[in-house]
Structure 1
Amino acid sequence: MSREKKTRAGGRRSRMATVALIGIGLLLTGGAYAGASAAMAATPSSSTTTTELTVDDGKKLFQANCATCHGMNLEGSENGPGLAGTGELAVEFQMATGRMPMQAQSPQAPQKAPQFTDEQIAAIASWVQQEGGGATFPSEEILDGGGNVAEGAELFRINCAMCHNVAGAGGALTEGKYAPSVMNTSALHLYAAMVTGPQNMPVFNDMTLTEDEKRDLISAVLYMQEQPSPGGMTLGSLGPVSEGLFVWIFGIGALVALTVWITAKSN
């Protein structure tokens, strides 16, 4: 009997040792894999150099994705205008806001998520600038928001409010076109819109608005974006349309409900 007990006890120790060895092996393997992954993530990746795109890369991207409408050499076609003279500023605006490439012909190219990375857009814009020239990026001072906000707000009311709404909420135009809201527009894209005149927007050159006035106008819009509405709910900032609808639905609706309640109580 004693010999059988020793054999069984020895067998139990052997199985536990096997389980322990397997567990230690799994821990060591997992630790080595985690360490290797962390080391790979910490080392400077060579992709930072391989993903830097050149002007030639921009040409290839343009000819593969844009030339169907705009021509192989910016000459344009029956499906799209030529891009000679538009410049890198217009290309960056149209592509970074997702307006280009267009998904389908429509009265106006809608804003959507961009289909290219910032590096790809910069490469395409550089090639268009090199081949056709045109408007370039402004200095950082114009975009810093440090202009005269009061002067800029007056310039916005005079030059922009008739389409974009006095509160910058946008508005409808003719034939299915519209002026978009500027409340989420970056300083660079505000400047690009004034200089390049996308869609139905007129071009505001230096004869119309000087660089200092553009800076003031951009500063005013940035100020509007950051400030809450002092009057409470904006109701879309659409003025008497949304405000009147609110009064009809909730104001008169509440009066009707109160009248019905009083009548029911009296009966």
Structure 2
Amino acid sequence: MKNKLLATLFGAALVLGACGGGGDKASDTPADTNDSGAETSGVDAEKVVQTSCVSCHGSNLEGQGNAPSIAKAGATHTEEELHDIIVNGQGAMPPMLKGEEADAVAAWLAEKK
């Protein structure tokens, strides 16, 4: 019984650990702008996605394993829905980001249609 419990906990730690990273890192990169030229924040959303999301969602955001494709996330989710998923997690995905990073990534993903 103990072995099953330990194996389950170890497996869960591996899965959740693979999706983590970069959650509280501050960025000192210049502000991003959206297609209309408006400043979105001082966070490089694409860089945050590369460090926090591609390990589960794939380098082209195409999805892999249990992680769905987010390459066209804006076509199926609003920016607010994406922000909620990023901050609170959903299904097997744990909470990933908060603050300006979550805001910037949600806005960036919402443009992917």
TM score, norm. by length of structure 2: 0.52
Does 1:170 find its partner at 2:63?
Answer: yes
**Cα separation, 2, equivalents of 1:167 and 1:149:** 23
Cα pair 1:150 1:220 within 8 Å, conserved: no
**Cα separation, 2, equivalents of 1:169 and 1:149:** 26
Does 1:181 find its partner at 2:69?
Answer: yes
Once the two structures are superposed, the pairs formed by residues 45-194 of structure 1 within 5 Å of their partners are 147-148=40-41, 151-172=44-65, 178-182=66-70, 183-184=72-73, 185-186=76-77, 187-194=79-86
Match of 2:91 among 199, 209, 232: 199
Cα pair 2:45 2:108 within 8 Å, conserved: yes
Higher relative contact order (CA 8 A, sep 6+): 2
Listed as ranges, the gaps of 5+ residues in structure 1 are 1-144, 173-177, 227-267
Query: Displaced runs of 4+ in structure 1, greater than 3 A?
Result: none
Listed as ranges, the gaps of 5+ residues in structure 2 are 1-33
Q: Tell me the CA shift for residue 169 of structure 1.
A: 1.7
RMSD of Structure 2 on Structure 1 (CA)? 2.4
Q: Tell me the CA shift for residue 149 of structure 1.
A: 9.1
Q: Tell me the CA shift for residue 215 of structure 1.
A: 1.4
Give the % identical residues: 21
2:100 is aligned to 212
**Cα separation, 2, equivalents of 1:217 and 1:165:** 16
Which structure has the greater CA radius of gyration?
A: 1
**Cα separation, 2, equivalents of 1:149 and 1:167:** 23
Indicate the structure with greater helix content.
Answer: 1
TM score, norm. by length of structure 1: 0.24
